Structure 1
Amino acid sequence: MITGDGAYIKKINRGLILSKIIEHKAVSRADLSKITGLNKATISVQVADLLNDHLIYETQQEHNVVGRRPILLSINRSAGYVLGIDLDYKYIQYTVSDLGGHPVDFHAVELETENYHDILKILIDQIKAYQEKWSASTYGLISVTIGIHGTVNNDERINFVPTYQWQNIGLKEDLNKELDIEISIQNNANLSAYAERVYQYHESNNLLCIMLFSGIGVGIMIDRKLHKGFHGYAGEMGHMIIRQDGDACNCGNRGCWELYSSEKSLLKKLKKHLHRTPLSYDDIRQLIEEQDPTTLEILEEYIIDLSTGLNNIINMYNPETLVLTSEILKMYPDVIEKIKSNLKSTVSEYGSLALSELGKKSCSMGACALAIQRFLEVPEVVLTLENTVVKK
């Protein structure tokens, strides 16, 4: 049983009311009372406070029925903004979102360096630029959440990033020395799983998101909550060994799954066998459309290796929703059915298997969504996107 003083109960009620206003987009005080189970007096006091804090605003619904038009409450999306950053290998993606979870600014840059201090300076300069750009709003740029393609402990300190070979890095502390803003460091796959749950799969309580880009990471949602493990390192399934005498991995082992099923490994193999460097996503799309035999053969082998790892994960977690995040898989016709045909184990059970619609933006968007939840202090957020947001 949860107990607490009046201030604690008020905080819980405030979070519940805010979360329902976000979810329903526009809702009356009377409907809020019905939805939350809170009495009208409590709703009235809380709404007054939220209006005074400029977090919500009132509008009147237009209708042709005789009588007073109901006053609706909506989240004040422009009251403040949050910044989500996806720090990948030689690539940084920035997404700024309003308080309704709608991206309002998107920017991606390729890096010419692997040096930590050079990248740190790039991050500091860009964050300062965003702080200046969004300073005119009521709360300005509220916070920054950064997704790391490696292990991050529960104190938000970077343990290891295989692609950069960074170990025991205090990125949060280094940023705080130069910036006056709340900083959070999270694992990229966790943020992507959070984005899928918040933006796409609202009803899924147990969701796994498999990121297949520079490496492989798995974000795990169990009973609607991120599962991070004892130290915070859960989900590093890219380093699950699928070949005992396989290739050497940066982690120190051999035969890791990501050496055979990440997009990085697939691109490397395609370049080698096609004798084509560079090889872009557009090139691969064209090769698939032209039914190039070498490309199709490599993709079929890739799907078998990918399915091997998926079988293991499904056996471990019995997920309700399994989301694959890959730009190349989205190009390949009937790929979900091809993968399903390889998931033949009689003990492997899952609810649904799908390709991510958020794609490469899932990490930075999940970072924004988590920042919104924390700022508004709501139990959970349910957000939606216009179709144009996730298009390239």
Structure 2
Amino acid sequence: MNIADQALVKKINQELLLNQILSHSPISRAKLSEITGLNKSTVSAQVNTLIEKQLIFEIGQGQSRGGRKPVMLVFNKNAGYSIGLDLGVDYINGILTDLEGNILQDCYHDLNELAPEKALEILFSIIKGFLNQLPDSPYGLTGIGVCVPGLVDNNHIVFTPNSYWSQFELQSLLQQEFNVPIFIENEANAGAYGEKKFGSASNFNNLIYVSISTGIGVGIIINNELYKGINGFSGEMGHMTIDFNGPKCSCGNRGCWELYASEKALFKSLKHRVSYQEITNLVQQNDVDTLSSLQNFGFNLGIGLTSILNTFNTEAVILRNHIIETQPIVLNSIKNTVSSRVYPQLNYQYELIVSSLGKNAPALGASSIVIENFLDIVKV
């Protein structure tokens, strides 16, 4: 076996062992050998390498079935840190995480229709704030993950129909300023990945994540893998036509789903521009107009979700929207609409679930992309 082949085998073995330690920590060398099928000398050698790289460490002895008690191994979640940033149409949500995705610091900024240059200034300020609070660690900041609501191709923002982020070459700007790996992803894709890694979707192999805000974005996971299409543009189902005579959309098409079922469409249907809290107050007062608007919001969402379920036949659909999370009438309306329209054969074979991570789902997904890249590079 040549040197290149030996290096590849070592990398594969390290990845296998590290994944098992991540999943079953604390775990002994003997148990790793049993689970992976690797011989004890290979396990011992690769574990020692991972310890030298400070990716894992030993803790006290575990239970013994007879003979010497085993020394247990634990993943070093504090070996480095990651930043995840969700750049919305009118907000920036940032998080600092350890290598297990635990949120150590967070920062939310409402952009309030600020000029693009000012929004970029706030973005840089958030990152610098996290860096100032970064704990000491062997690897420091391992990278920055960014997600935006729009088309993203190979870390390049191609088009953001409802915001101005596409006018910046964000990857190069951030790379020059912070000198760490930069990853840029679509917001719904990142949200789907976050829910799969850390949220309510962890037990599903096939799922759809639907982000509903100013527009509608869809993240697709098939057989545990994020599906992005050949150019990374999959999931733009907010722009599927549901009314071919409908009004013109910001994407250039007419009658797009998000014109009827986005949060922006809901607020437009209300008599007065209100806040989330005011919607809650009006619901508690049984305000007929508000209840009717929420019911219609759920109905319009259900129309599009029926097409998605009929197309993908997934185990679950994860819904991310503050109003759906706080107003049960909307989720009930969605469920009623879908169940009355979806193929009868699909009924009760899918789950409609509210996001368990809320607003942090996309930022967590972006952060986990950074973490996985770091762990892949640092092996061997």
TM-score with structure 2 setting the length: 0.90
In 2, are the aligned partners of 1:314 and 1:348 still within 8 Å (CA)? no
- In the TM superposition, 1:271-290 aligns within 5 A as 273=271, 275=272, 277=273, 279-290=274-285
**Aligned partner of residue 377 in structure 1, secondary structure:** helix
> Residue in 1 aligned with 2:312?
317
> Residue in 1 aligned with 2:343?
346
Amino acid at match of 1:231: N
> Residue in 2 aligned with 1:382?
none
> Residue in 2 aligned with 1:355?
354
> Residue in 1 aligned with 2:171?
172
Structure 1 residue 290: Cα displacement? 2.8
- d(CA) in 2 for partners of 1:64 and 1:49? 25
Structure 1 residue 281: Cα displacement? 1.7
Structure 1 residue 125: Cα displacement? 3.3
Structure 1 residue 197: Cα displacement? 1.0
- d(CA) in 2 for partners of 1:297 and 1:162? 29
The one-character-per-residue Cα deviations of 1:170-207 (angstroms, maximum 9, x if unpaired) are: 21122223221111111010011011111133331111
- d(CA) in 2 for partners of 1:364 and 1:372? 12
Instruction: Tell me: CA distance 1:83–1:108, structure 2 relative to 1, closer, same or farther (3 Å).
Output: same
Structure 2 gap segments, 5+ residues each: none
Structure 1 residue 326: Cα displacement? 1.3
> Residue in 1 aligned with 2:202?
202
Instruction: Tell me: CA distance 1:335–1:24, structure 2 relative to 1, closer, same or farther (3 Å).
Output: farther
In 1, are the aligned partners of 2:62 and 2:72 still within 8 Å (CA)? no
Structure 1 residue 365: Cα displacement? 0.9
> Residue in 2 aligned with 1:381?
none
- In the TM superposition, 1:109-258 aligns within 5 A as 109-134=109-134, 136-153=136-153, 155-165=154-164, 167=166, 169-200=168-199, 201-258=201-258
Structure 1 residue 36: Cα displacement? 1.9
The one-character-per-residue Cα deviations of 1:273-295 (angstroms, maximum 9, x if unpaired) are: 2x3x4x22222222223322111
The one-character-per-residue Cα deviations of 1:330-389 (angstroms, maximum 9, x if unpaired) are: 2223654432221223267352221111111100011112211111129xxxxxxxxxxx
2:307 equivalent to 1:308: no
Structure 1 residue 68: Cα displacement? 4.8
In 2, are the aligned partners of 1:243 and 1:255 still within 8 Å (CA)? yes
Instruction: Tell me: CA distance 1:322–1:283, structure 2 relative to 1, closer, same or farther (3 Å).
Output: same
Amino acid at match of 1:314: L
In 1, are the aligned partners of 2:297 and 2:330 still within 8 Å (CA)? no
- d(CA) in 2 for partners of 1:82 and 1:320? 30
**Aligned partner of residue 78 in structure 1, secondary structure:** coil
The one-character-per-residue Cα deviations of 1:233-271 (angstroms, maximum 9, x if unpaired) are: 10011111112222321111222111221222212322x
**Aligned partner of residue 77 in structure 1, secondary structure:** coil
- d(CA) in 2 for partners of 1:251 and 1:347? 34
2:328 equivalent to 1:333: yes
Structure 1 residue 303: Cα displacement? 1.2
> Residue in 2 aligned with 1:299?
294
- d(CA) in 1 for partners of 2:216 and 2:23? 32
Instruction: Tell me: CA distance 1:93–1:54, structure 2 relative to 1, closer, same or farther (3 Å).
Output: same
TM-score with structure 1 setting the length: 0.88
RMSD across aligned C-alpha pairs, in angstroms? 2.2
> Residue in 1 aligned with 2:263?
263
- d(CA) in 2 for partners of 1:165 and 1:147? 13
Structure 1 residue 65: Cα displacement? 9.3
